[in-house]
Amino acid sequence: MESFFQQLALPWIGAAFLLSGVVIAVVGTILTGVVDRLADRTRLGEAISGGLMLGATTSLPDIVVSASAAASGHAELAVSNALGGIAVQTVFLVMADIAYRRANLEHAAASLTNLFSATLLIMLLATSLLAATGPEMALWAIHPATPALFVIYLLVQRMAARHRDDPAWYPAETRETVPDEPEARNVRASLAGLWLRFAGAALTVAVAGYVVAQSGITLTEKTGLSSSLVGVMFTGFTTSCAELVVAIAAVRRGALTLAVGGVIGGNAFDALLIPISDLAYREGSVYHALPDRPMFLMAVTILMTTVLLLGLLRRQRRGIANIGFEGSIVLLLYAGMVAYLVFS
């Protein structure tokens, strides 16, 4: 029996994608302000709040998409959605950098927590690639790498939280550095009210994510397009609209560390979509159900993140089009990845 989405014509599927993207983007704007206030009110700071609260919430649509696709037997779409989201969100960080005219965003938003998040993302993606290319193994259709990935995520996040309060390394402050300091009006805000608004926004983006998931599965079945292409260009891009809006909105609010932390921390959380897909995929290990294209996407996203990490370490003040060298390389890598998917 066909589902509701399978009965829709392609124009309606496109409309569902567009509407869901608009909802995710609008709610993303609201989330930016709420999480910025929560960062000050809870004293967690913008980097941790951006990476955990904002990153996890804006990743809710991606969780729904990947889990739904995997549960329906679409392993390639589930993993490609995660990788496509990570890649396009890294590009969105470059766009936020262009919007910030004073200096390179990676220079102005220096943060040890963001370095931890970028390193964590590389570890998660490299472990997933190792599982996909290594010997085939599974226990109850779950690969041993899946629980290991969750453990790695928790351990590194705990390490980052501990070093935030007692860092052994400090970024050098310059005239362009924008410190993460709480605003007095945010510290006095109602904590219960902020959490209530946060929960409402999270629920909204999760529902929008479900619509994107079902639309993406239907688009793959009706058009014959590769699941990797749909995951990168349609579901991954649509569910990542919140990150673009969040990053630019945070830059305009002057919350630079929140902007960078939201994207990099969200990317690290998105890497967990791969083990989540393995849990939802019941036909065996999702890692060994993948064709070559997702492996290529995984390698490119690792390279993009490594370049970004290098930019965070070097902290170039200015570059071409007011972005650092890392931004230019990230754009070239993303363009090459899309070209590969379109023409392969």
Spell out the per-residue pLDDT of the chain, length 344, in tens: 456 666 777 778 878 878 887 887 777 667 766 766 766 666 655 445 545 566 666 677 778 888 888 998 989 989 998 998 899 888 888 887 777 666 666 656 667 777 888 899 999 999 999 999 999 888 888 999 999 999 999 898 888 777 766 666 666 666 555 554 545 454 455 667 777 877 787 788 778 777 877 777 788 877 777 878 887 877 877 777 767 777 777 777 666 776 777 788 888 888 999 999 999 998 989 999 998 889 999 999 999 999 988 888 876 666 666 677 888 899 999 999 999 988 87
Report CA-CA distances (Å) from 232 to 87, 119, 260: 8, 23, 21
CA dist., res. 37 & res. 189, Å (int): 8
pLDDT attached to residue 2:
54
The domain ranges of the chain are 5-343
Question: What pLDDT, on the 0 to 100 scale, is given for residue 296?
Answer: 92
Q: What is the pLDDT of residue 116?
A: 86
* Domain covering 5-343, topology: A middle domain of Talin 1 (1.20.1420)
For the four alpha carbons of 188, 193, 195 and 197, in that order, the dihedral sign comes to: negative
Q: Is 164 exposed, middle or buried (0-12, 13-18, 19+ CB in 10 A)?
A: middle
Question: What is the pTM (predicted TM-score) of this model?
Answer: 0.79
